[in-house]
Amino acid sequence: METIEVRLRGLGLALPAAPQMPPGVRLPFPWVRVVGCRALISGHGPTLADGSLARPLGKVGAEVSLDQAREAARLTGLAILGSLARELGTLERVACWTRVFGMVNSAPGFNRQPAVINGFSELILDVFGPERGAHARSAVGMAGLPFDIPVEIEGEVELHPA
Amino acid sequence: METIEVRLRGLGLALPAAPQMPPGVRLPFPWVRVVGCRALISGHGPTLADGSLARPLGKVGAEVSLDQAREAARLTGLAILGSLARELGTLERVACWTRVFGMVNSAPGFNRQPAVINGFSELILDVFGPERGAHARSAVGMAGLPFDIPVEIEGEVELHPA
Amino acid sequence: METIEVRLRGLGLALPAAPQMPPGVRLPFPWVRVVGCRALISGHGPTLADGSLARPLGKVGAEVSLDQAREAARLTGLAILGSLARELGTLERVACWTRVFGMVNSAPGFNRQPAVINGFSELILDVFGPERGAHARSAVGMAGLPFDIPVEIEGEVELHPA
């Protein structure tokens, strides 16, 4: 069976370093919380390879275009995979995806949140396949997000026993 | 014991067809994701009997009145029951409700989100009764929702073993 | 082992009475829903000792300052601990925290939601310690919240078997 790591390489994907917050920001919680066979994933934003926040920042439908937001959702997915890999040791422990909550920093009138969060869902399906990667999902519009990130995603995966 | 299907008929309720999205919209996720004894429910909006989006669309407190929004929440509940019935084969597999997250597309100044989402909660309690239907709940205001639907609800139920 | 009740007293903290809603408001759901070894926590707002809504109300970044909002998040934490204690009989049944979803009623341009919700996270860590109190978290901006409360928090804890 092809491993997730092999699949990531085959797709030309590299996982970024741990999220780096702007100076002075204290986030007193882990990026992933494992409880039994569940891994709860904290809200992540889009990051670059070094873990710093990806640009552009701002509201989707104003400062950030739909295409830029879809790419931000994809980067958010890579950031989450990085956090899962660091917490679990290996992504092979992910038995399947369960729940994804996709939040889009939305300018007035913007209503294409699903098209944005598809950038995340398509990444997960590419990496984990249609069964293991399937997830319940919401994609909704927020009035604001930390640091003006355009997308924030939280969720949950089911784990194989350690 | 009265079955849920009998109860639905007694209340004069029929479940709608699967949600139909506007042309060109791709939603790469299932409406319900079953993992062990949990069914995770994707964000649903209000639909008509044929699964098309119910009207009116827009923000509650502006284009959509409180009464219309409460009815939208009730229709969202029927859409969710339809998705659960299709995924599970029968609603009898629902052991109990656990979590409901009710999102209201809110005009500036609108703060009666609980009264809106009561349209959902009352339906669930009518159909499942006070014990099996009880659920933890939030009812909150969003800056935007897909297709300008006035209400979107996601949640979770606990299942009897298959 | 120091009990949670002793820890609360040591910190000078008292849990408030059950949340009291304004006249005419019907909330047809429990504040906490226990299912197996999980307790799902409904969205709570900040309350005073008698369970009434704490002031100030309004949007953070406009009518409510960052410091007031952080205090509101702390009060929301006390309200949640009160609900858990009433439902479970004792907070000792909380094996650990799992998920926290922190919602901030955000004025346009406000983007410091994490600093607000830190008021909640720091309380939980003070009371439960760094292992048992650790939680996956999101802190995000809402377009509106019930009764114009500045902060609403929902979440989940894992329980010891009864």
**CATH code of B150's domain:** 3.30.1330.40
ipTM for the predicted complex comes to: 0.97
Q: Give me the pLDDT at residue C2, please.
A: 72
Q: Is residue C117 part of a domain?
A: yes
Token reading at B148: 């300008």
Show pLDDT as tens, one digit a residue, over chain C (162 residues): 579 999 999 999 999 999 999 899 999 999 999 999 999 999 999 999 999 999 999 999 999 999 999 999 999 999 999 999 999 999 999 999 999 999 999 999 999 999 999 999 999 999 999 999 999 999 999 999 999 999 999 999 999 987
> Within 13 Å and on the Cβ side, how many CA atoms surround B69?
32
d(CA B67, CA A132) in angstroms, rounded, equals 41
The pLDDT-based confidence of A2 (bands split at 50, 70, 90) is confident
Q: Give me the pLDDT at residue C78, please.
A: 98
Residues in chain B: 162
Q: Give me the pLDDT at residue A1, please.
A: 57
Distance to chain B for C122, nearest Cα, Å? 22
Q: Give me the pLDDT at residue C64, please.
A: 98
Q: Is residue C11 part of a domain?
A: no
Range of the domain at C100: 46-159
d(CA C97, CA C94) in angstroms, rounded, equals 7
A129: left (phi over 0), alpha (psi -120 to 50) or beta: left
Token reading at C141: 């901006």
pLDDT, tens digit (0-9, with 9 covering 90-100), for A39-84 = 999 999 999 999 999 999 999 999 999 999 999 999 999 999 999 9
Q: State yes or no: pLDDT of A143 exceeds 70.
A: yes
Q: Pick the residue from chain A with its C-alpha nearest to B41.
A: A136
Chain A residues in contact with B145 by the CB 8 A cut-off are: 111, 113, 140-141
Q: Give me the pLDDT at residue B1, please.
A: 57
d(CA A120, CA A117) in angstroms, rounded, equals 5
Q: What is the DSSP string of A56-80?
A: PPS-BTTTB-HHHHHHHHHHHHHHH
Q: Give me the pLDDT at residue A57, please.
A: 98
Q: Give me the pLDDT at residue C1, please.
A: 57
Asked if B116 is an interface residue toward chain A (Cβ–Cβ < 8 A), one would say no
Are A142 and C141 within 8 A, CB to CB? yes
pLDDT < 50: residue spans in chain B: none
Question: Does the CA dihedral C153-C156-C160-C162 come out positive or negative?
Answer: positive
Q: Give me the pLDDT at residue B65, please.
A: 98
Asked if C112 is an interface residue toward chain A (Cβ–Cβ < 8 A), one would say yes
Instruction: Determine which of A35, A59, A100, A147 to mutate to test the interface with C (most C C-beta atoms within 10 Å).
Output: A35
Instruction: Provide the domain count of chain A.
Output: 1
pLDDT, tens digit (0-9, with 9 covering 90-100), for B130-162 = 999 999 999 999 999 999 999 999 999 999 987
The pLDDT-based confidence of A121 (bands split at 50, 70, 90) is very high
Distance to chain B for C152, nearest Cα, Å? 9
pTM: 0.98
Residue of A81, A160, A158 lying closest to A123 (CA atoms): A81
d(CA C18, CA C82) in angstroms, rounded, equals 7
Chain B residues in contact with A137 by the CB 8 A cut-off are: 27, 29, 42-43
Cross-strand pairs, A139: A102
Q: Are A116 and A104 in contact (CB under 8 A)?
A: yes
Tell me which residue in C106, C125, C138 faces A144 most closely, judged by beta carbons.
C106
Distance to chain C for A1, nearest Cα, Å? 31
Q: CA separation (Å) from C161 to B132, B134, C37?
A: 20, 21, 6
